A and B are shown apart, each in its own frame.
Chain A
Amino acid sequence: MASTAETPALAGAPSPRSNRDVVEQNLARRHRNEAIFRFTGLGAILVGIALVGVLFGSILIKGVPAFTQATMTLEVDFDPEIINIPERPVLQASQSVAEYEQALLSWRRRLAFVNWNKVIQASLAKVLPAAADNARDAAGMIASGERIKLRDMVEADPSIVGTTQAVSLVAAANVDVWLKGNIDRTLPQHMQQLSKLQQEWSDELYQRGVISMAFSTALFTNVDSRSSPATAGLLGAIVGSVMMMLIVLVVAVPIGVMAAIYLEEFAPKNRLTDLIEVNINNLAAVPSIVFGLLGAAVFINFLGLPLSAPIVGGLVLSLMTLPTVIIASRASLRAVPPSIRQAALGVGASPMQAMFHHTLPLAVPGMLTGAIIGVAQALGETAPLLLIGMNAFVASVPSTPMEQSSALPVQIYLWQGNELRNFFEARTSAAIIVLLAVMITLNALAIFLRNRFERRW
């Protein structure tokens, strides 16, 4: 509209004044549009920041308390009457190794059958005389997994039998919930998780300082547990995730980088390479659960790799990460100015020399960033892992990638669904914090490496 108004002026009317007026007229509108655009952008960013703030805030508020846990410090009597076991067998000259192993095994079995609840009850009775008559309530005060801790102490050093040791034991999950106020204390008793007695004991011990909120090392040193939620930890999941990340690094990064180099620098431009390129871009957009199905069909059914194993998870995540790595690597190769390539070719470098001596070193920072972001993405991926059986309850630390294992995001998923809600809600958020911490560390590493290797030209 404005242009039609201007036309006569442009067509030859010698009136620069009117031209100026037209521009001035529009000027206010143009400035207004610009301001609106700027504020819309600013608004979008503020909304984004607010949402991220709410997300992180809620996770932190819920998760941080889970890093401390009700822990009881007790004088534990290793009473030889309860721990009634013979001496730990030693290898006799007359024995074969097999015979010794057998003797050791039966000794261990006897150790396992010791009534550890009784040991705990006796120790608890020292601070709470009433505990002596209430075996059930006493046993329920301590996380059941802590019995294993006592057993392990004796196994490591049988000479402590007959002595008294100060041991810090993780209190039962319900005690932790009660003390942290994660359960409504006004609920009628039939809806409570602790017995009346246990509630009184918890409060009393907390006041006397026998129970304190200590850093939950169990979260990092133990594997998942159903029978003893208070000592359930992430160790197995962390190890499983680390293994999978290593597999992704070893499989996806070299293949992705080589594919990118070939496609970008050496492949002829024809229908086939166009098709490959389109499909790589499509693969990057394929829902991750589809990769899980593929993994289940190919790696587990066809190749016969074990279920729930990091090797399968790592391979599936590698497939998923591959397009990301290829696309990022190609972009960073393309960002290297062609003049560098020409300079190298001009002095007689072969295409491969030009690539590896000049183009690649300049593209490395971008490639690293792509690779690390791809790996971080893979670390947080859950859906494909569910399809290859990694949502199984695995209470062991895998020592090889072929063994069953859990993974961090799957562990979060499992804890989120745990029936002991008021304890695991915090535990889940704590696990999310651990996962986020690993991811932020990885991204920080990516930024560091990019700045470290970035060269200007």
Chain B
Amino acid sequence: MSAVAAEASTGRYETIRIADPVARPTKIAAKEVYVHYGAKEALHHVSIDIPAQAVTAFIGPSGCGKSTFLRCFNRMNDTIENCRVDGVLDMEGEDLNDHSLDVVLLRARVGMVFQKPNPFPKSIFENIAYGPRIHGVAQDKAHLQEIVETSLKKAGLWEEVKDRLNEPGTGLSGGQQQRLCIARAIAVSPEVILMDEPCSALDPIATAKVEELIGELRQNYTIIIVTHSMSQAQRVSQRTAYFHLGYLVEEGPTESIFNNPQEKRTKDYITGVFG
């Protein structure tokens, strides 16, 4: 705490960065991102490179700004009253924070899975088909069915639901619902998938399934996951970023963050001294 206060008075805090042992291509480069809720600055000059085809975990105590930062990537902060995002989020040469960029297009490229499973109160099929349908991706009915099937297969849900595609998605178990939401995100073929504490409402078995799924998905997608579970971050991610009171304190390869944290606050948090 006092360290942050000192930095706030003396100048800006510089994030400790540890490079990957194997260099990965960067998918999104966030530069000097500030978020304000009204007059309150919730996120201070966050800069981070998100590697492609890897899982990046955002960790930190509640209220540290990690979910706020996550929502910058698909501009969900736009839907929050009084929320202002400044800075550049460069995805392959395009600034995601540029307000001339169409958010509809952006959200087709950057999908999102939420904390609480939130399937539409419609059939399983309709849940998956909705995205492709509004974007006009499916050429015909057969194609749409194919998209639904491949999405469910990728989400590891196909075997469980293939006989009841017309039943309501809300009738599935919590873990199945969350995988349905992942399948729904996959169905529009995004490049990046954002996950905001996707397992916090699930039991350990369902969590294991979703984690396994995340491991498979990273072959094809860039994934950013916000999590409160240290062990989950260790299990699923390749890079970890530690946030504290709106600052990005430290970021680096997951192994090095957990085994050899550079900052005292990071160390205290991951060893459970606070948070």
User: Which residues from B are CB-within-8-Å of A353?
Assistant: 134
Question: In the complex, what distance in Å separates the CA atom of A102 from the CA atom of B134?
Answer: 67
Partner-contacting stretch, out of A338-346, A410-418, A437-445? A338-346
With contacts A269-B81, A456-B170 taken as known, whether A346 is within 8 angstroms of B120 at the C-beta atoms is: no
User: Closest chain A residue to B135 by CB distance?
Assistant: A348
| In the assembled complex, A108 has its CB within 8 A of some CB on chain B | no
Question: In the complex, what distance in Å separates the CA atom of A194 from the CA atom of B159?
Answer: 88
User: Which residues from B are CB-within-8-Å of A431?
Assistant: none
User: Which residues from A are CB-within-8-Å of B259?
Assistant: none
Give which listed residue, B76, B81, B121, B134, contacts A346 with CB less than 8 A: B76
A-B contacts, 16 listed (Cβ < 8 Å): A340-B120, A341-B79, A342-B112, A344-B120, A345-B76, A345-B79, A346-B111, A346-B114, A346-B185, A347-B184, A348-B104, A348-B108, A353-B134, A357-B130, A358-B120, A456-B121
With contacts A340-B121, A358-B120, A457-B170 taken as known, whether A348 is within 8 angstroms of B114 at the C-beta atoms is: no
- Taken residue by residue from 140 to 184, chain B's Cβ proximity to chain A (1 for < 8 Å, 0 otherwise) reads as 000000000000000000000000000000100000000001001
Give which listed residue, A269, A343, A345, A456, contacts B120 with CB less than 8 A: A343
A347, B188: Cβ atoms closer than 8 Å: yes
User: Which residues from B are CB-within-8-Å of A347?
Assistant: 107-108, 111, 130-131, 134, 184-185, 187-188
Interface centre among A344, A347, A357, A362 (most CB of B within 10 A): A347
| In the assembled complex, A54 has its CB within 8 A of some CB on chain B | no
| In the assembled complex, B74 has its CB within 8 A of some CB on chain A | yes
Give which listed residue, A337, A339, A346, A362, contacts B107 with CB less than 8 A: A346
User: Which residues from A are CB-within-8-Å of B188?
Assistant: 347-348
Q: Which DSSP category, helix, strand, loop or mixed, fits chain A's interface?
A: helix
Task: Report the minimal beta-carbon distance from B101 to chain A, rounded to whole angstroms.
Answer: 13
Give chain A's interface residues, CB within 8 Å of chain B.
269, 337, 339-350, 353, 357-358, 362, 455-457
Question: In the complex, what distance in Å separates the CA atom of A455 from the CA atom of B108?
Answer: 28
User: Closest chain A residue to B107 by CB distance?
Assistant: A348
User: Closest chain B residue to A361 by CB distance?
Assistant: B121
User: Closest chain A residue to B169 by CB distance?
Assistant: A457
With contacts A342-B76, A457-B170 taken as known, whether A348 is within 8 angstroms of B134 at the C-beta atoms is: yes
Question: In the complex, what distance in Å separates the CA atom of A269 from the CA atom of B81?
Answer: 8
- Taken residue by residue from 76 to 106, chain B's Cβ proximity to chain A (1 for < 8 Å, 0 otherwise) reads as 1001010000000000000000000000111
Task: Report the minimal beta-carbon distance from B11 to chain A, rounded to whole angstroms.
Answer: 36
| In the assembled complex, B119 has its CB within 8 A of some CB on chain A | yes
Question: In the complex, what distance in Å separates the CA atom of A457 from the CA atom of B79?
Answer: 22
B121, A455: Cβ atoms closer than 8 Å: yes
Question: In the complex, what distance in Å separates the CA atom of A346 from the CA atom of B103?
Answer: 10
Give which listed residue, A269, A342, A348, A362, contacts B121 with CB less than 8 A: A362
3 tightest A-B contacts by CB?
A: A339-B118, A348-B107, A347-B131
Question: In the complex, what distance in Å separates the CA atom of A163 from the CA atom of B181?
Answer: 83
Question: In the complex, what distance in Å separates the CA atom of A346 from the CA atom of B112?
Answer: 6
User: Closest chain B residue to A343 by CB distance?
Assistant: B118
Question: In the complex, what distance in Å separates the CA atom of A339 from the CA atom of B118?
Answer: 6
User: Closest chain B residue to A353 by CB distance?
Assistant: B134
User: Which residues from B are CB-within-8-Å of A455?
Assistant: 121
B114, A339: Cβ atoms closer than 8 Å: yes
- Within B196-241, the residues touching A (CB, 8 Å) are none
Task: Report the minimal beta-carbon distance from A297 to chain B, rounded to whole angstroms.
Answer: 39
Question: In the complex, what distance in Å separates the CA atom of A353 from the CA atom of B107?
Answer: 14
10 more A-B contacts (CB under 8 A) besides A343-B120, A349-B104? A339-B116, A343-B119, A343-B181, A343-B184, A344-B130, A346-B107, A346-B111, A346-B112, A347-B131, A348-B105
A342, B130: Cβ atoms closer than 8 Å: no
Task: Report the minimal beta-carbon distance from B19 to chain A, rounded to whole angstroms.
Answer: 32
Task: Report the minimal beta-carbon distance from B78 to chain A, rounded to whole angstroms.
Answer: 9
User: Closest chain B residue to A351 by CB distance?
Assistant: B79
User: Which residues from B are CB-within-8-Å of A337?
Assistant: 118
User: Which residues from B are CB-within-8-Å of A358?
Assistant: 120
With contacts A269-B81, A357-B130 taken as known, whether A345 is within 8 angstroms of B118 at the C-beta atoms is: no
Task: Report the minimal beta-carbon distance from A410 to chain B, rounded to whole angstroms.
Answer: 44
User: Which residues from B are CB-within-8-Å of A357?
Assistant: 130, 134
User: Closest chain A residue to B184 by CB distance?
Assistant: A347
Task: Report the minimal beta-carbon distance from A164 to chain B, rounded to whole angstroms.
Answer: 70
With contacts A340-B121, A353-B134, A357-B130 taken as known, whether A346 is within 8 angstroms of B74 at the C-beta atoms is: yes
A349, B134: Cβ atoms closer than 8 Å: yes
